[in-house]
Amino acid sequence: MINARAAVAAKLWLARNLPRVVRVAGLLGFCLALACVPAAAAKHRHHHAHRSHRGLSRVAAVPFRAALLEDADTGEVLHASAEHETWPPASMAKMMLLLVAEDQIRAGRFSLNDPVRISSVAAYTGGSRLGLRAGDVYPLGELMKAALIRSANDAAVAVAEKIGGSTQACVRMMNQRAQSLHMFHTFYGTVNGLPPTAGHDADFTDAYDLAILAREIIYHTDLLRWSSLESAAFDGAVILHNTNHLVGRFDGCDGIKTGFTYHAGFNVTATAKRGDLRLIAVILGAPSNPERFRQAGRLLEWGFQTFAVAEPVKRGQTLPVQVRVGPRFAVQPVAASAARVLVPREDLTNLSVEYRMPSYINSPMPAGTPLGTVVVRDGARIVGQVQALYPQVSGGASAWPPNSDLGSVSSAVQSDPPPATRALDGGPR
């Protein structure tokens, strides 16, 4: 594997020379077709690799630079197009700023009510802004809310100066956090995504890394309480209107962030939840504001229409198999965790469960000792596995049924012969 620092250095060179690249290519020249992707799936392993599950039907001249759709719970990529293409995040850099701020709040170093005095640096920040004045004081939480909903650059600088002491120190915190999440194609040079000089985006990332960041925000912060709002009051006065136009217009959408600069084009990282399924969509380099939302909404809708969540095994569930313990009694193992699987809706009727465990052990075990594995299959493909545990047995053990049909059950759960398989009742959830 290439050294992570060397990779970051190479990407930094690209970021510094990005304007030349973009001037040659031209933003409007970046058009990419959504291609059919092979029908196979694999989950993230420490966010290092993926394989697309299956793709959308081909659509001619789809205008964006990169796109990705994934299951937020597992990180399984459902569709990807140029997902490792390096691209400026623009104001989506604020996603990492706000994650770092949430980290500091959870660590007890700051609170949402802490006062923040607006510096002259923050007050004179350009681009999308609230018009904050130097010397004014606002609660940290209000400034974070404005940076997320309104994408206010002056508020973002004020947040960075509060939690990092300076924007430069906060940028270092952001890059350290990115590395901790294995976002190896990401580098932050600013806290708000603004080009430091005319025509120069210092920040870079890719769609894959942005989905990693989105998952961290969804499951380890409370930022969706703000990003889910169409509008909100800032400090009880100014009304913040959400720059993410999917919120309130796309069923289930509750975040997260948009971004735009001249060279980055129109970007969005969006998430939506319907029932048990939460999806994340990333669009980079769309040519217009409406187009980024149209493409993100199209990806999300396709995902909800195509895939479904099933949970054929519940956490703590007593499994329908028996393991004989010595000559006198038997136990039924329990599932250590739930087996949540995401499959195409058409495959729900193909799900089956296998119980891989011995039919006999010599003596009792402490409760919770692993006895085997429960395997969930979609046809021939393994889509989920959980441990089977020795149960808590009241009174020492359950009596062995003297005339039970033990022989057939035992042979079905032997390790060496084919394991027991149970088909599931299908149907959308």
Q: Tens of pLDDT along the chain (429 residues)?
A: 444 444 544 554 444 444 343 333 333 333 333 333 333 333 333 443 444 444 554 444 567 999 999 999 999 999 999 999 999 999 999 999 999 999 999 999 999 999 999 999 999 999 999 999 999 999 999 999 999 999 999 999 999 999 999 999 999 999 999 999 999 999 999 999 999 877 678 999 999 999 999 999 999 999 999 999 999 999 888 999 999 999 999 999 999 999 999 999 999 999 999 999 999 999 999 999 999 999 999 999 999 999 999 999 999 999 999 999 998 899 999 999 999 999 999 999 999 999 999 999 999 999 999 999 999 999 999 999 999 999 998 754 443 333 333 332 322 333 333 444 454 443 333
Contact 94, 193 (CB under 8 A): yes
The structure tokens 């699987």 sit at 341
- Give me the CATH code for the 314-423 domain, please: 2.60.410
pLDDT at residue number 88: 97
Q: What is the pLDDT of residue 277?
A: 97
CB–CB of 338/315 below 8 Å? yes
pLDDT of residue 395: 56
Q: Look up tokens 């890394």; give the residue.
A: 209
pLDDT of residue 279: 98
Please say whether the dihedral angle defined by the alpha carbons of residues 127, 128, 130 and 136, taken in this order, is positive or negative.
negative
Q: What is the pLDDT of residue 250?
A: 98
Any alpha helices (H) in 197-331, and if so which ranges? 207-220, 224-227, 289-306
SS3 content of the chain, % helix, strand, coil (to 5): 30, 25, 40
- Confidence at residue 406, expressed as pLDDT on a 0 to 100 scale: 32
Q: How far apart, in whole angstroms, are the C-alpha atoms of residue 282 and residue 118?
A: 33
Whether 176 and 197 have beta carbons less than 8 Å apart is answered as: no
Its pTM stands at 0.79
Q: Which residues pair with 80 in a beta bridge?
A: 68
User: Which residue type, as a one-letter code, is found at position 412?
Assistant: A
Q: Which of 304, 300, 308 is nearest to 350 (CA)?
A: 308
Q: Is the peptide bond before 256 cis (omega within 30 degrees of 0)?
A: yes
Give residue 353's pLDDT: 96
Q: Which residues contact 284 (CB under 8 A, 6 or more apart)?
A: 64, 65, 66, 67, 85, 87, 206, 207, 210, 264, 265, 267
If phi > 0 it is left, if psi is from -120 to 50 it is alpha, else beta; for residue 90 that is left
Distance CA 131, CA 124 (A): 8
Tens of pLDDT, residue by residue over 157-187, are 999 999 999 999 999 999 999 999 999 999 9
User: What is the predicted pLDDT for the residue at 269?
Assistant: 98
- What architecture is the 4-308 domain classified under in CATH? 3-Layer(aba) Sandwich (3.40)
Domain regions of the chain by residue span: 4-308, 314-423
